[in-house]
Amino acid sequence: MCENSKGNKASLPLSYLVDLDALPLLKIQPILRNFDVSSLPRTYLEAQMLYSNCVNSFGTRLTDAIFPGSTKNVLISPISLHQALMVLTSGAKGETFTQLCNEMGFPGMTTIKQFTQFYSLIGSYINFPFEMVNSLWFGSGFRESYDFVHKTECLFDATAQTLPADSDEAKAVINKYVADHTENLIPEAVKEVPPDMSLMIVNCVHFKAQWKHPFNMAHTHDADFHRFDGSTIEIPMMACYDAPHKYYDDGEIQYCQLTFSDSRACMIFALPRDTSPAGLAAAGRAISGPGLLGPLLAAMGDVQEFHLHIPRFRIEFDSNLTKPLKALGITLPFQPTGDLDEMLSEKTMHLQVKKVIHRAVLDVNEKGVVAVAFTGILLRGGGGPSHPIHMILDRPFACALVDPTLELAFFTALVTDPGVSTQPIEDFFSHMKKLSKH
């Protein structure tokens, strides 16, 4: 680990404003955090709220860019993508640096010194309830910049390695690294490593936890799940009739919160009454939008009798996110004129991002949850009522793994067609003790 700079703190006029027109409004009044400070945030609360709002906003906007016109499952880890892009930002300059900061939620940040000071603060304050690693993989024959490698090590705990010259061997090295950090749920992170690749920035996120109140397997039954097109599929439906889960209903969306026995994180499910894709998109924003998680969690209460039905499911997401990221306004890193040359010692190579790969897996069953994600950025040179409440997720729904302390949604999903979990339930947590030793 690197020690943070002890020099004088530079002024950091950060402003973070939430566009209310772009977010669904809950019946409760959201307490939106507006950050407009003349210096770096100096408290844990300021740091965590600023960072969480930036990540949540980015994840919501990206999901909106992916989902329109689609009826397929969407599963992303906003924190994985945000971290990888911030590693990229640490090697950018000029307009490219400014654009990345603006679109990633840090308008007003104009110098790498401000960026370094802010992430030094974030690293000092925030402890995530999941495992995350960052790494740099340089192509054979390319000489990395010592300053860039040192900076990413200090700010993001990133490791740096040089890949073998052979493309197949390079692919095998990266895939093994990702598989090792995602419990082998992402065995093939990359399908190829181009011979002219200069650098790949890799981020992996791994979350695994057991329910505080596991579902009784004897209550799991076959049930119909209703798709957007009107067709149905038969799925295993888990059921819970007596666990003290938190619940809230704003008249348009039903929400429930499930907690874990071995993690401060929780999982929120949102079932919209509007059964259209637009209704599902609104439910997704409601449980992951910036400034909305805190008020939503505060509004949830205990109910005397709550009948909850959730599919046992496993969904996977695999996509090149270059187009959605460009739609968000991140364009300069993908252009030959983008200023990313700080990453390599040869400053005349004019690095540019060729594609951003994201793969994620979410597995939910009677015992708990496993969620993993991989992001690869490839660069080249050149309180409730007393009557029973039913919440039956037998149609498209949204869910998110969140950290109530940080008010951070680190995995978000719009589930339109739940796939059956293929991992044997009795083996679901067989590696928990092994993982806890690492």
Share of the chain above pLDDT 70, in %: 81
- Segment among 125-129, 255-259, 386-390 with least mean pLDDT: 386-390
Q: Say if 179 falls within a structural domain.
A: yes
Give the per-residue pLDDT at 13.
27
Q: Look up the CATH number of the domain holding residue 203.
A: 3.30.497.10
Q: Is 7 a residue whose pLDDT tops 80?
A: no
Q: How far apart are CA 96 and CA 145, in angstroms?
A: 18
Q: How far apart are CA 13 and CA 106, in angstroms?
A: 9
Q: Say if 217 falls within a structural domain.
A: yes
Task: Round the average pLDDT of the chain to a whole number and report it.
Answer: 81
- Segment among 18-22, 243-247, 411-415 with least mean pLDDT: 18-22
DSSP for 174-209, written as a single string: HHHHHHHTTTTSSS-S-S---TTEEEEEEEEEEEEE
> 201: pLDDT confidence band, cut at 50, 70 and 90?
very high
- The dihedral sign for the CA sequence 264, 399, 183, 210: positive
Residues 131 and 181: beta-carbon distance below 8 Å: yes
Residues 364 and 421: beta-carbon distance below 8 Å: yes
Q: Say if 229 falls within a structural domain.
A: yes
Tens of pLDDT along 238-250? 999 877 889 999 9
Residue range 191-211: average pLDDT?
93
Residues 333 and 395: beta-carbon distance below 8 Å: no
Kindly give the residue spans of alpha helices, DSSP state H, lying in 90-145. Answer: 94-103, 112-125
> 28: pLDDT confidence band, cut at 50, 70 and 90?
very low
Give the per-residue pLDDT at 377.
96
Provide the domain limits for residue 114: 10-438
- β-strands 352-364, 306-311 pairing: unpaired
Q: How far apart are CA 153 and CA 268, in angstroms?
A: 33
DSSP for 1-18, written as a single string: --PPP-SPPPP--EEE--
Residue range 403-428: average pLDDT?
77
Q: Say if 2 falls within a structural domain.
A: no
Give the per-residue pLDDT at 424.
53
Nearest by Cα to 293 from 59, 44, 103: 59
Give the per-residue pLDDT at 21.
33
Q: How far apart are CA 280 and CA 271, in angstroms?
A: 8
Residue range 266-277: average pLDDT?
94
- 300's CB contacts (< 8 A; 6+ apart) are 246, 247, 248, 255, 256, 257
Q: How far apart are CA 377 and CA 203, in angstroms?
A: 9
Q: Is 253 a residue whose pLDDT tops 80?
A: yes
**Structure tokens, 429:** 């947590």
- Tell me the CA end-to-end span of the chain in Å, nearest whole number: 18
Tens of pLDDT along 373-397? 999 999 987 633 346 778 888 899 8
Amino acid identity at 188: E
Residue range 307-325: average pLDDT?
93
Q: Is 312 a residue whose pLDDT tops 90?
A: yes
Q: Is 12 a residue whose pLDDT tops 60?
A: no
Classify each residue of 77-113 as buried b or exposed e, where b means 16 or more C-beta atoms within 10 Å of its C-beta. Answer: bbbbbbbbbbbbbbbbeeebbbbbbebbbbebbeebe
Q: How far apart are CA 266 and CA 84, in angstroms?
A: 24
Which one-letter DSSP state was computed for residue 332? G
Q: How far apart are CA 24 and CA 22, in angstroms?
A: 7
Residues 78 and 372: beta-carbon distance below 8 Å: no
Q: Say if 425 falls within a structural domain.
A: yes
**Structure tokens, 251:** 């008249």
Q: Is 14 a residue whose pLDDT tops 90?
A: no
Domains identified in the chain, total number: 1
Give the per-residue pLDDT at 53.
87
Q: How far apart are CA 109 and CA 107, in angstroms?
A: 6
> 20: pLDDT confidence band, cut at 50, 70 and 90?
very low
Q: Is 233 a residue whose pLDDT tops 70?
A: yes
More confident residue, 174 or 391: 174
> Using only C-alpha atoms, what is the Rg of the chain?
22
Q: How far apart are CA 372 and CA 130, in angstroms?
A: 10
More confident residue, 348 or 436: 348
Q: How many CB atoms neighbour CB 423 within 10 A?
A: 14
Q: Say if 4 falls within a structural domain.
A: no
Q: Is 331 a residue whose pLDDT tops 80?
A: yes
Give the per-residue pLDDT at 243.
79
Give the per-residue pLDDT at 428.
52
Q: Say if 383 falls within a structural domain.
A: yes
pTM: 0.85
Q: How far apart are CA 172 and CA 164, in angstroms?
A: 10
Q: Say if 193 falls within a structural domain.
A: yes
